[in-house]
């Protein structure tokens, strides 16, 4: 490191570190880690400043953030099936239950029970799989509608994920009018964040209403997932998005993070939107790659209005099972340095984490705790958030 890098010399550093017991205690607590002083010891980041265009506004409707209804049931199933590193398709969860019991299933045996019913008879398929699966009543799902208004006033709609339970997702789609939008071809693409059960396994419900919808998936889906898209009745274009930045329309892009994820899943696709006069909006399904990497990737890769990280929406994967660990406090504190102007958190963010965001005074948009969402600190089922627009 150059001796002229920054304004802090080695002598100044040790002088500061010797400011007394209180100063040493604060440093030990990590205050230094979140202070401007730390920047003197890091190289300047070379920004690529990719141009993804600009849009006028973004509105997000939370169709469902309740991926499962009881943490204890989900964790018990995972533990007794062999743990978080086990292939999710072997858990014998719906819709791939084959009647052999927890941890003994397979995609091939499960899909064979319902393939002939998809996608038009999802109600009947769900009744079949309920009898053969483990914990079908615990399945919910994550999905959100993203509406982008372009600078010329044209409004375009995208669906982020398609949930898990056929029954729950069909009900949620009808509640928010997604069924009609799909049937009318108002939604131009389905963007799948990752292959996990609670984000992907409900795709027959989407294809029931629009089997031709263009579907973006992160490159890295397993053979089971690729076959399931076909088995679900899809007749449209499937785009396998390579790791990195991929512009969808002016002002909206996805970014695939090439990361291994629990339950034998690989890769997650998130969304960045550049809102005129406001800044960058970051939208995630689960953020398995971490909120710090999410924000830093935006800063490193993309040019955006006012150089401002304006908003964030979705699951931030900090305490998904409400098992608070002191290390999570570092993530809560770290989020503050990015100065988001609007935060809509839910799903795997964890209610405890959402409450800590509120306690720190972050601009969290509160929800209404309807339709089985757990708390008002969440942006819950049926709630909306606007970026560059009031909703």
* pLDDT given at position 69: 96
CB atoms under 10 Å from CB of 155, counted, come to 12
**pLDDT bucket at 15, cuts 50 / 70 / 90:** very low
- The answer to whether the beta carbons of residues 192 and 217 sit under 8 Å apart is yes
CA distance 193 to 261: 12
Instruction: Indicate whether 37 pLDDT > 70.
Output: no
**pLDDT bucket at 40, cuts 50 / 70 / 90:** low
CA distance 271 to 253: 6
CA distance 174 to 320: 27
Output the six-digit token pair for 137.
Answer: 């009543």
More confident residue, 330 or 253: 253
Instruction: Indicate whether 345 pLDDT > 50.
Output: yes
Mean pLDDT, the chain, as a whole number?
90
- Hey, which residues does 303 pair with through a beta bridge? 51
In sequence order, what are the residues at sequence separation of 6 or more whose Cβ sits closer than 8 angstroms to the Cβ of residue 339? 308, 309
CA distance 331 to 132: 40
Q: What is the pLDDT of residues 118-130, one digit of tens each?
A: 999 999 999 999 9
Instruction: Indicate whether 32 pLDDT > 90.
Output: no
Is the entire prediction scored with pTM above 0.75? Answer: yes
Work out the percent of the chain whose per-residue pLDDT is above 90. 83
CA distance 146 to 139: 23
Architecture of domain 50-66+146-192+215-221+237-387 in this structure: 4-Layer Sandwich (3.60)
Instruction: Indicate whether 245 pLDDT > 80.
Output: yes
DSSP state of 139: B
Could you state, in order of their start, the residue ranges of all structural domains in the chain?
Answer: 10-41, 50-66+146-192+215-221+237-387
């Amino acid at each position: 490191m150059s001796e002229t890098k920054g304004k802090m010399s080695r002598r100044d550093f040790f002088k500061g570190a010797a400011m007394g017991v209180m100063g040493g205690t604060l440093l030990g607590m990590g205050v230094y880690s979140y202070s401007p002083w730390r920047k003197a010891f890091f190289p300047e980041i070379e920004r690529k400043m990719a141009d993804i265009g600009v849009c006028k506004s973004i509105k997000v409707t939370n169709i469902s953030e309740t991926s499962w209804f009881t943490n204890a049931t989900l964790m018990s199933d995972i533990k007794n099936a062999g743990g978080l590193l086990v292939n999710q398709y072997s858990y014998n969860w719906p819709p791939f239950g084959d009647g052999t019991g927890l941890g003994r299933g397979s995609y091939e045996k499960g899909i064979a029970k319902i393939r002939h019913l998809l996608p038009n008879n999802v109600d009947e398929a769900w009744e079949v799989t309920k009898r053969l699966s483990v914990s079908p009543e615990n399945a919910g799902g994550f999905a959100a509608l993203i509406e982008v208004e372009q600078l010329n006033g044209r409004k375009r709609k995208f669906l982020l994920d398609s949930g898990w339970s056929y029954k729950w997702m069909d009900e949620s789609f009808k509640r928010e009018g997604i069924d009609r939008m799909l049937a009318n071809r108002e939604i131009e693409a389905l963007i799948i964040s990752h292959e996990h059960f609670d984000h992907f396994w409900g795709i027959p419900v989407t294809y029931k209403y629009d089997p031709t919808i263009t579907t973006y998936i992160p490159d890295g889906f397993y053979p089971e997932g690729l076959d399931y898209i076909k088995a679900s009745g899809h007749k449209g274009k499937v785009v396998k998005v390579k790791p990195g930045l991929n512009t969808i329309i002016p002002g909206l892009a996805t970014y695939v993070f090439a990361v291994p994820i629990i339950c034998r899943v690989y890769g997650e696709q998130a969304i960045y939107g550049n809102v005129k006069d406001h800044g960058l909006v970051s939208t995630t399904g689960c953020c398995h790659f971490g909120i710090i990497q999410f924000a830093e990737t935006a800063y490193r890769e993309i040019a955006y209005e006012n150089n401002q990280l304006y908003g964030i929406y979705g699951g931030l994967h900090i305490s998904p099972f409400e098992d608070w660990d002191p290390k999570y406090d570092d993530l809560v504190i770290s989020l503050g340095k990015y100065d988001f102007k609007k935060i809509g958190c839910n799903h795997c963010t964890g209610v405890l984490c959402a409450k800590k965001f509120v306690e720190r005074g972050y601009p969290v948009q509160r929800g209404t705790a309807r339709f089985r969402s757990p708390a008002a600190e969440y942006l819950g089922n049926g709630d909306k958030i606007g970026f560059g627009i009031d909703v």
